[in-house]
Structure 1
């Protein structure tokens, strides 16, 4: 009886541990945010070799009494895979008494912190740094709406379209427009994710070859369009976004900016690029955007194509970690916006409802897929 009871107890404690892990998962996020705020990855990178705790504390100007707190923060970040601990060997020569002519070498072991691929991705000087994305996503502006998710779900009226709106009294886009400080942080975060597009452009050149003109719909400050215009100088690139987003941005011979509203009309071109935009919007809104896209690529008689870069949920094929991240994003869209992440069937329904006849999922990289869409 005791053995059965203890097995039941062990199972209960395992369940409790699983529950606690999920209750406190936000600590992973906040510790990472803190490390980036303190520029710990940058300090280790500049140091050029693994850094000891006292050296790190000294560079951070941390009070000696808080060095043990820094050690505890780093211990968690090592466990989460953002840093590694490595042994440093210091050699000390000790002179022995004269009658012993040998010199004994004493080795002192100390530990130092080194970067991992994940922390290299948030070094601020790197072109592909995602530190602005971390900063934008973990700002209280985006975190506080989670506290009203339950209340929002229970409410009968759909007056407030999202928990974000319930919290801040306006949509995310209006908030970014009216609060220019956070608006800037948000735009930088989005641009930092777009920098990784340089790898996609490099790996999937055939998608862009043969195009004479391209419009990046919802292209922000032009990070992606700049990458494409530099890789393919013969393509005339246009960044299309809201007027206040594209105002006074520097143009080049093959890169220009046009302000407007994608729900009204989109400039025509051989191809339109829509990267990480459609997941922000409801099915109905996406069909409207895609109808405007279809008009823009067929207005000159010959049919062009729409290149969509977005998440495609595939729980059967994807690794567990990738699926988890995609589902995180889906719930995030529900809290912040009216959008969602979609599986292949949901995408297909949108495409056909907007009047497109065929599509092709050309490639997948990380969390996102590249889809070519034809009228």
Structure 2
């Protein structure tokens, strides 16, 4: 074959074929996402769970109502998902059994709604506009979502009535995160008598905190369309309709759980300034969000996921931040100190002090 050059160095046939495979694998990465979404829409993880965690193709087809002519195609889908780690495959004397892995067990337990948020046709379509957004002057003034769809994500959500799907995803993620915070890192709430959860939706996280730590009076602040239908006060949790850009209720602690990624620096700094005004001199802000690069020593998903989220958030004008970027907006908002106290998966707890 002809020599293949890379930076003026000839690639061996073996290197060329390996590189070609990697390139095609990257190009087809979206197929993995689509297959995962299909498995969830078909309720395949639940079907295997109902069969005790192990099922044949025929079992899965019977449980999910898959048409008989598509069982062989189902096998192709399951084979790919097994190689990707969503399921595992065992061959028992010629009969293949598909079993739940940690990933699919997590789907069954709670996180299916969050995967629907991330694998969204409208979000994927927006990312196809990256080239136009980077180069066209008129497009560059809009969000990627606006370039692709002619309206904001919030307007599209209202039009399609899909806000409940987004909220369900946030609730699913929040439930797991809050349990970990309380069970393993509850010391971050020591000495706290009151707390405001900005962007806390219907108050699931705040309710969990109030239940575990009943001495803390919790308030949830969110926009009218988000808190619609939520009880305004339940036990030790009060839901307040409002906009963090305008006002943050006073409290010992303000909790910003995976919300500052929604905004670029100017708006994120404005929200942080409001938080600074809301807390006393001995109070603090607790940020739970990604710190890009904090897991540089890690390989694979832990290192890559914050970077994927960073590009994903471009569609709505948001971003993920490395520590220097966090430091910049924290100090510009008037705070004097912070510490990254805990790293949890691809996200971290940042405690910020006035």
TM over 0.5: yes
Structure 1: gaps (5+ residues) = 89-107
Shift of 1:333: 1.1
Separation of aligned partners in 1, 2:266 and 2:160: 29
User: Of 333, 337, 341, which aligns to 1:362?
Assistant: 341
1:245 aligns with 2:245: no
Maintained 8 Å contact 2:144/2:317: no
Q: Deviations over 1:323-343 (max 9, x none)?
A: 211100000111x22221111
SS of alignment partner, residue 221 of structure 1: coil
Maintained 8 Å contact 2:139/2:147: no
CA RMSD of aligned residues (A): 2.1
Separation of aligned partners in 2, 1:341 and 1:358: 20
User: Of 132, 144, 147, which aligns to 1:163?
Assistant: 144
User: Of 334, 342, 347, which aligns to 2:326?
Assistant: 347
Q: Which residue of structure 2 aligns with residue 319 of structure 1? A: 299
1:258 aligns with 2:243: no
User: Of 122, 127, 134, which aligns to 2:107?
Assistant: 122
Separation of aligned partners in 2, 1:33 and 1:180: 20
SS of alignment partner, residue 190 of structure 2: coil
Q: Deviations over 1:201-226 (max 9, x none)?
A: 21111111221110001112222112
Shift of 1:280: 1.1
Shift of 1:159: 6.1
Q: Which residue of structure 2 aligns with residue 139 of structure 1? A: 120
Q: Which runs of 4+ in 1 moved over 6 A?
A: 1-7
Q: Which residue of structure 1 aligns with residue 168 of structure 2? A: 188
Cα 1:3–1:260 change in 2 (3 A) is closer
Q: Deviations over 1:305-358 (max 9, x none)?
A: 100001001163343421211100000111x22221111111111111111011
Instruction: Report the structure number with the largest CA radius of gyration.
Output: 1
**TM-score scaled by structure 1?**
0.87
Structure 2: gaps (5+ residues) = none
Maintained 8 Å contact 1:267/1:296: yes
Separation of aligned partners in 1, 2:247 and 2:78: 51
Q: Which moved more, 1:21-30 or 1:320-329?
A: 320-329
Maintained 8 Å contact 1:50/1:86: no
SS of alignment partner, residue 130 of structure 1: helix
1:86 aligns with 2:90: yes
User: Of 310, 315, 323, which aligns to 1:330?
Assistant: 310
Maintained 8 Å contact 1:283/1:350: yes
Separation of aligned partners in 1, 2:313 and 2:4: 45
Q: Which residue of structure 1 aligns with residue 25 of structure 2? A: 21
Q: Deviations over 1:132-176 (max 9, x none)?
A: 011122121211101111111111236642110112223223333
Q: Which residue of structure 1 aligns with residue 194 of structure 2? A: 213
Separation of aligned partners in 1, 2:296 and 2:118: 28
Maintained 8 Å contact 1:217/1:239: yes
**TM-score scaled by structure 2?**
0.92
SS of alignment partner, residue 359 of structure 1: strand
Cα 1:51–1:320 change in 2 (3 A) is closer
Q: Deviations over 1:24-73 (max 9, x none)?
A: 00010000100000111001101114211122222222233211101100
Structure 1 segment 223-302 matched on structure 2, within 5 A: 223-250=204-231, 251-298=233-280, 302=281
